[in-house]
Structure 1
């Protein structure tokens, strides 16, 4: 495919995902590509990550496991792209495959579920809803904390689950998207600083930081642009919060979309939080109010939806301008 064709296919993938998502009946029958990748990562972890090995050996084996994962997923994706690139309606099937690895519809639904629970069902249900999309302990959150957690998850996943897959597909086609999701899944499974994975998952965590770097900055830019078209959002607040706070986040990437969303909506996000029984200190993003509500969640959803629209419009414009 030419660069222009790649972007048109990407827009098609975004449209398919936004319209249909990934059907539950399909997931129940065959699972999901990310779950398939996850099973392979678990296999590599079981075979290569031995507690009797030294820390350096486990780190080296983690590099090896990551290399195997990238090569296998990349080759499979390249073969599929080459095959469909030479058959009738191949572009549609490539778009369909790509749509399975983008998560705008499911992200919107899960975050909206938190707002609905806060409005209609009470704190316990809201904690359960937010617990599906965050890693922290929801039992420690009051209603405002639940709302903030949902908005923070929306910001981070807008980058990791939407903008990053779009970016890597635009740059490297289906192989770029699939390899990105493989790296991201590896980080979520073995990239944490637990006794078992601190050494073995080191490479996955570091590479995930690297591949998410461009998307996190692009997400902040998209949110700033979307603020122009979203009533109640502040462009100046977005830019000010990003410039002041993004680099203070303990993650090299999450601070960009979180600070952008906080600044746009006049919120104060992030800060100390509890994962399991462990309290983690982190910097605040934004300097607005802390008492976020269900309406703030919906305002964040409106802003991010507008940002996705800006992204799609930009992709179409670039595709039209490019030759071929």
Structure 2
């Protein structure tokens, strides 16, 4: 297969999957009936964690078993996706195989669900701090009971920025690189990191491989997500594209995460706010540097502005992908 044909097919898949997810998301009726593909991957991870990460093993044994587990976590879902993609292209006509594959692939993109969860935090924060804390507890790992209103809103904004990268940009980038198997590969790595890639006594050794691999596979998308946020800010009144570039250059590298700091710094600069800073996990305060120059005393209107910036960044990404599809189509027609 020529590169232009490969690119045309995969970027078309990206466009269709992105639009499908933005329009309908993953229906809750399907979640109740069959679960979600990420839940299936999570069940595999949990099984391997309980089997290979038992308390009687030494730290070196846990680390070695973590490499084995990470290999299985990647291999099983990715091989299944390869078989599914091949089967679809064999049994369906060419004009139908791509849209059906895109519908399946859209389950691994989180544009709509991320937007809806963060929007719920913004709405609840307007009327009830306890309700806002409950809403934000669904999307962050820190203790929401320790957060005041500004802390809840910062946590939601940080999650919006970080998950724009690893919940939307990264899955679509890996879809562009490898089709349905590519996005499943990425989601397996990312889910493994979220479940076992923590620096806790139980998972520090066992989750080492998953955490380091997640850092690598998210590196390109974190930089790309910052670019989309900056371009979005440049097209919106009241946003600060120049400040986004400046804060990105200054603060992204000081963030605790080698990847999350990029979209977070870009969003903080564009909105003129401060993010990150000290936070509480399980009652323990962890000192973290601030990102951005503005006020850390966020209000619901700041989160609504962040959501508007997020929607524009998603749109710019989709338009960019469609432009690539159009360029590839013109090139193929000239042959």
Q: Does 1:115 align with 2:119?
A: no
Residue 145 (structure 1) aligned to one of 147, 151, 158: 151
Separation (CA, whole Å) in 1 of partners of 2:225 and 2:183: 17
Aligned length: 323
Give how far 1:319 is off: 1.4
Moved over 6 A (4+): none
Separation (CA, whole Å) in 2 of partners of 1:140 and 1:69: 35
Please give the TM-score of this superposition, normalised by the length of structure 1: 0.98
Residue 135 (structure 2) aligned to one of 118, 126, 129: 129
Separation (CA, whole Å) in 1 of partners of 2:30 and 2:74: 26
Q: Does 1:182 align with 2:188?
A: yes
Which residue number corresponds to residue 94 of structure 1? 101
Residue 270 (structure 1) aligned to one of 270, 276, 299: 276
Which residue number corresponds to residue 286 of structure 2? 280
Two-structure CA RMSD over aligned residues (Å): 1.0
Which residue number corresponds to residue 22 of structure 1? 26
Q: What does the per-residue CA deviation read over 1:211-259, in whole Å, with 9 as the maximum and x for residues that have no partner?
A: 1111111010100011111121111010000000000001101100110
Answer yes or no: is the 8 Å Cα contact 1:230–1:302 preserved in 2. Answer: no
Separation (CA, whole Å) in 1 of partners of 2:288 and 2:86: 45
Residue 243 (structure 2) aligned to one of 237, 248, 260: 237
Separation (CA, whole Å) in 1 of partners of 2:250 and 2:256: 14
Separation (CA, whole Å) in 2 of partners of 1:228 and 1:297: 18
Give how far 1:281 is off: 1.3
Matches within 5 A, 1:1-324: 2-86=6-90, 87-88=92-93, 89-120=96-127, 122-322=128-328, 323-324=331-332
Q: What does the per-residue CA deviation read over 1:60-90, in whole Å, with 9 as the maximum and x for residues that have no partner?
A: 1100011111111111111111122231211
Separation (CA, whole Å) in 1 of partners of 2:197 and 2:51: 17
Is there any run of 5+ residues in structure 2 with no aligned partner, and where? none
Counterpart of 2:280 in 1: which secondary structure? strand
Larger mean Cα displacement after TM superposition, 75-84 or 148-157: 75-84
Counterpart of 1:164 in 2: which secondary structure? helix
Separation (CA, whole Å) in 2 of partners of 1:144 and 1:151: 10
